[in-house]
């Protein structure tokens, strides 16, 4: 099939991580969001964690006020975060699992096991005009649960695909491909993200039913060596190349 256009959401959390290491205002994640817009990002993603270890409430206020690109707010499924999302009404909310002791979002949301908890939240977010996505493992069971919950979008967790090598990575890629095809079959918009780098992005970008990638940590790290603008432009080019190559062979 002909691939759909592929959007890039730039996650700016780790600009805030560096700022918070010293306190104060530098480096400013909103300045990074503006640079991302100029470098070709289609959206900005930020995760307001319960412990506020990187993005702060004031950052969300400023992102809503100062950035023209759509904001994808990553949030845990808690009443506090639901209230914040309903107050700000970002373009999108991505519900993620969250544990205080983890360094980053480890594993996907158990959409299947938390049906009763998630259903009213998804209803309220959707009623407020917020596009809800669920960050899940690439599994049929989780996709069926997302569909049953009425979420219009899923984001497939690419963390494991990025962590492993060789045959194991191929196996993970196949799992993501199958899940992305199944998502389209049951009428879910499919996104992907976590851990993506220049090395790992191509095969994911080539999957024709994935329409958005959310990428953060690698881009912010790479910015140390070559600047944020260049890192985002190169990622965008790698995504476009992978998509174009796939289109030609389709
Ligand atoms: N998508 C989701 C749902 C995430 O939670 C994260 C990490 O905050 C990302 C994408 C981006 O992952 P990374 O920072 O590893 O690129």
**Active-site residue among 47, 54, 88, 191?**
47
Mutate to test the pocket of ligand 1, among 10, 13, 105 (most ligand atoms within 8 A of CB): 105
For residue 214 and ligand 1, the question of a CB distance below 6 A is answered with: yes
Q: Of 236, 194, 152, which Cα lies nearest the Cα of 11?
A: 194
Instruction: Specify the pLDDT at position 245.
Output: 61
Which of 14, 74, 155, 191 is catalytic? The answer is 74
Q: Of residues 14, 88, 191, 194, which has the active-site annotation?
A: 194
pTM for the complete prediction? 0.95
What ligand 1 atom has the least distance to the C-alpha of 220?
14
**Integer Cα distance of 124 and 61 in angstroms:** 21
Ligand 1 centroid – CA 194 distance (Å): 4
Residue nearest to atom 6 of ligand 1 (CA): 194
From the number of C-beta atoms within 10 Å of its C-beta (0-12, 13-18, 19+), residue 152 rates as middle
The atom number, within ligand 1, closest to the CA of 162 reads: 15
b/e burial code for range 19-58 (CB count within 10 A of at least 16 → b): beeeeeeebbbbebbbbbbebbbbbbbbbbbeeeebbbee
Looking at residue 115, what is its pLDDT? 95
In the annotation, is 217 catalytic?
A: no
For a substitution probing ligand 1, which of 45, 137, 193 has the most ligand atoms within 8 Å of its CB? 193
pLDDT score for 99? 75
Which residue from 95, 138, 136, 98 is spatially nearest to 118, judged by alpha carbons? 95
Residues in the chain, pLDDT under 70: 1, 100, 102, 105, 245-250
pLDDT for res 4:
78
Residues in contact with 73: Cβ distance below 8 Å, sequence separation at least 6, in sequence order: 45, 46, 47, 48, 60, 84, 85, 88, 90, 92, 93, 94
Q: Ligand 1 mean position to 22 CA, how many Å?
A: 23
Check residue 55 and give its pLDDT. Answer: 98
Q: Is 212 in the pocket of ligand 1 (CB under 6 A)?
A: no
Measured in Å, residue 216 CA sits from the centre of ligand 1 at 6
- Does the annotation mark 194 as catalytic? yes
pLDDT at residue number 94: 98
Q: Which mutation among 7, 103, 216 tests ligand 1's pocket best, with the greatest number of atoms within 8 A of CB?
A: 216
Q: Is the CB of 153 under 6 A from ligand 1?
A: no
């Amino acid at each position: 099939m002909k691939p759909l256009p592929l959007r890039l959401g730039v996650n700016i959390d780790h600009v805030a991580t560096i700022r918070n290491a010293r306190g104060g205002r530098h480096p400013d994640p909103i300045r990074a969001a503006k640079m991302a817009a100029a470098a070709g990002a289609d959206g900005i993603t930020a995760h307001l964690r319960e412990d506020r270890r990187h993005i702060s409430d004031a950052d969300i206020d400023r992102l809503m006020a100062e950035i023209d690109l759509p904001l994808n707010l990553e949030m845990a499924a808690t009443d506090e975060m639901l209230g914040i999302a309903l107050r700000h009404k970002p373009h999108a909310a991505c519900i993620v699992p969250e544990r205080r002791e983890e360094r980053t979002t480890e594993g996907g949301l158990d959409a299947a096991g938390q049906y009763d908890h998630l259903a009213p939240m998804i209803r309220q977010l959707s009623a407020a005009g917020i596009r809800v996505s669920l960050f899940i493992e690439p599994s049929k069971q989780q996709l069926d649960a997302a569909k049953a919950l009425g979420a219009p979008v899923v984001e497939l967790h690419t963390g494991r695909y990025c962590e492993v090598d060789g045959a194991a990575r191929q196996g993970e890629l196949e799992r993501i491909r199958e899940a992305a095809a199944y998502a389209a079959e049951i009428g879910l918009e499919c996104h992907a993200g976590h851990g993506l780098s220049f090395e790992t992005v191509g095969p994911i970008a080539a999957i024709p039913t994935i329409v958005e990638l959310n990428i953060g940590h690698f881009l912010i790290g790479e910015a140390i060596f070559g600047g944020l603008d260049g890192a985002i432009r190169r990622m965008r080019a790698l995504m476009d190349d992978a998509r174009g190559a796939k289109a030609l062979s389709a």
